[in-house]
Structure 1
Amino acid sequence: MSVDWFGILLLLGGFLGLMLIRVPIAFALGLASLATAMHLGLPLLLVAQRMINGLNSFTFLAVPFFILVGNIMTEGGISDRLVRLADVLVGRLRGGLAQGNIVASSMFGGISGSSVADVASIGSFLIPAMTKEGYPPGYSVSVTITSSVQGVLIPPSQNMIFYALAAGGLPISTLFMAGYIPGFLLGGSLMLICAVMARRCNHPKGRRYNRHEALMALFDAAIGLFTIVIIIGGILTGIFTATESAAIAVVYALLVTVFWYRTIDYRAMSRIFATTLTTLAMVTAIIMTSSVFGFLLSYLRIPTLLAEGIFFISDNKIFVLLAINVLLLILGMLMDMGVLILLLTPILLPIVTKVGVDPIHFGVMMILNLGIGLCTPPVGTSLIIGCGIARIRMGRAVKQMWPFYLAMLVVLLMVTYIPALTMTLPAMMQ
């Protein structure tokens, strides 16, 4: 079968060209796909059907609920309580505020499922607090944004749902369980870096809490953290599906924030729903257009051509995974994480399965890899938000970040080449 190189150029070149002139991603995907379909002589009805098929999934119904529950808990002040609990647990150590930042991110990430939400909420008061305690602003930003990557690994993660959709409907519960060990391994490695830096730079210790204060902080935070129990417990026990668990978690989050914490009123609710609808509209448009784009990638045999090119160099599993990691790290610096998951999964998944990599393992590897991209210039969203909160230039933060980058890359290599880190918990579920 001959290769339509002009069609490939029109699809990929058109998309990249539109991105360069700052056309919104959903429109860039749609216009490039439409032009390519017309070139190939495909009926436009097929394009419309593919767009609808991208949303015609029960798994997709979980997306709006996960976005909504994250927004409710963020607006409802759960992050304040998690930071206090983290300070109770590790604040008395040298460099305790930095350690508490990482612990709080691991807990908050399990509620919001978003690195960006983590930085925007926890970072909004922890970055200034760390700076006030004498930590360099660049260091404060580095700790906050790198620890926020736990949010894309520790369930429930919105990006894992996107991967499950792009991979053809993988079980979300299995993906969720696969992210726990890598997520906590990442947090542990960052805490080790903070411990070393605290001794070298003589970072301050935090205050000690008495037993009553500690129990009150634990109880107050536990009420919000029970949201995670509802989502994960419901899925693992088989009582609820992922969508049903997310919907019940929304109801619980509303009850907690409105009646217990009393931090949400009618005005806050309007902001929450407006933010959720805006995010959902953007996500929906990208999923629809990326579905057509992915179909055309397959129609033009681009995954096959890429696989042949890689295997022509070497079919060694170690090399293939290393090459894919390098590709993802580069692209993660340039494009949004969710878009890359939707676009690259149909291309790369057939390649890794040929060398014996489980789709669940690859999903966690890909999400961690692209999570690092959220912390790297020039378009790392978490990095931009963190620098905006600290009011410093991006270069100043990046200079302080190299030990944390190194720790994240080591964890990425461990996740890539030690499948047991991702597959042990899912295997225990079966």
Structure 2
Amino acid sequence: MSKFSLTAIPFFILAGNLMNQGGIAKRLVDFVMALLGKLPGALLVTNVGANALFGAISGSASAAAAAVGSMVEKGEEEQGYDKALCAATNGASAPAGLLIPPSNALITYSLAAGGTSVAALFMAGYIPGLLWTLACMAAAIFFAVRKGYRGTPGRFDWKNLGVCTLKAIPSLSLIVVVIGGIVGGVFTATEGSAIAVVYALLLGVCYRNITLRSFWQIVVDSAKMSGMVVFLIGVSNILGWVMAFTQIPQAISAALLGLTSNPVVILLIMNVILLAAGTFMDVTPAILIFTPLFLPVVQTFGMSPVQFGLILVYNLCIGNITPPVGNTLFVAIKVGRSSLPQVMPYMLGYYLMILAGLLLVTYVPAVSLALPRLAGLI
């Protein structure tokens, strides 16, 4: 556990919690509403876009569902939106932010995969995260059209967009500063995480949403979460040693390759296993368990560790919105004052679109590798 790179995780967790309390959710919701408000089901589409942005900044799907969902819930109720549809939209779109960097899930995968470049993984996360977001937007628009939900009336308001953009720029700049610095080689991912903490703290103080008392509680909560995550990583190193000693990965690789030599079929089997596991396991322990099992298999037919990392994280993020565990889905249901039986018929539509995105990430390498190659990272 004495790896300097491990300190990036508690720093990013602290930065995310500072941003959660820093009053940025409303600014992001206003910005997305000004940009996309003319589309059918304006508030549903705004919910999706704001979840992607807030989730990327905060690093938590559940926090995004709670913060953004609370912001748009009142407007949706006033305009007569179906509560179950709103809850489904909020829950389905929240995990997109876990794919868009900075992402603790991708940092964890980097450690589990033996030091795969964090910068390459961060760049690789943008297109899959955007695919998830667009898939949810398409489903939201489809449901909105069927129910007759229109966009905001009148002509597009460029002045309002300008004002909302100016208010959102300080929050959005966190992503630009941290990711730009890491990819540009100005600082490492670990140093970037510390910069993110300072930036988030300054922003929260300037917005007057963080006090000395609330700051202490944020630090305590972040320490508890960090202790759990880093402990899991430490234990996973022991598990990895045991599996290497007993040659379990080689046995699983031989079993899968003995079953079929077709990479398409092997990847399909892996996706099914990961989707099933994700319904019962949290993202972090699942990454630590399945990376050493499946990475050697995909490397036998030449898949990049970067692409496999995005396949793995995308799969496990779906587990955040699938019962019986599905923490993010249940947060969205609670915020939206709905119930699981009411929400699930709408979720089926979202699952279909999100799974289509998974197939693209799995079978089209450019979806994950185009940006890292363009940036010269792989």
Instruction: Return 244-253 or 119-128, whichever deviates more.
Output: 119-128
Residue identity matched to 2:118: I
1:93 shift after superposition: 2.3
Q: What's 1:72 paired with?
A: 18
Q: Is 1:247 the equivalent of 2:161?
A: no
Q: Tell me, yes or no, if the aligned pair for 2:87 and 2:338 is still in contact at 8 Å.
A: no
TM-score, scaled to structure 1:
0.84
Alignment of 1:7-406 (within 5 A): 55-206=1-152, 210-259=157-206, 261-406=207-352
1 CA distance for matches of 2:41 and 2:337? 22
Which residue number corresponds to residue 12 of structure 1? Answer: none
TM-score normalized by the length of structure 2:
0.95
CA distance in 1, matches of 2:372, 2:177: 19
Deviates more, 1:324-333 or 1:240-249: 240-249
C-alpha separation between the residues in 2 aligned to 1:190 and 1:391? 21
Amino acid at match of 2:30: R
Q: CA deviation at 1:215?
A: 2.0
How many residues align structurally? 375
The structure number with the bigger radius of gyration is 1
Q: Distance in 2 between matches of 1:230 and 1:83?
A: 21
Offset at residue 204 of structure 1 (A): 3.7
Offset, 1:196: 1.8
Asked if 2 retains the 8 angstrom alpha-carbon contact of 1:190 and 1:404, the reply is yes
Deviation per CA, 1:205-227, whole angstroms, max 9, x where unpaired? 33667444332211111011111
Please tell me whether the aligned partners of residues 178 and 196 of structure 2 are also in contact (alpha carbons under 8 angstroms).
Answer: yes
Does the Cα contact within 8 Å between 2:9 and 2:104 map onto a contact in 1?
yes
Q: Distance in 2 between matches of 1:148 and 1:195?
A: 17
Question: Is 2:55–2:64's contact at 8 Å kept on the other side of the alignment?
Answer: yes
Q: Which amino acid aligns with 2:112?
A: A
What is the distance in 1 between the residues matched to 2:79 and 2:95?
Answer: 24
Match of 1:8 in 2: none
Kept in 1, the 8 Å contact 2:57–2:175? The answer is: yes
Structure possessing the higher relative contact order (Cα contacts under 8 Å, 6 or more residues apart): 2
Q: Does 1:413 align with 2:362?
A: no
Whole-Å separation in 2 of the counterparts to 1:354 and 1:114 = 33
Separation of aligned partners in 1, 2:66 and 2:288: 24
Contiguous gaps of at least 5 residues in structure 2: none
How far off its partner does 1:323 sit?
A: 0.4
Tell me the distance in 2 between the aligned counterparts of 1:309 and 1:340: 21
Give 1:418 shift. 0.2
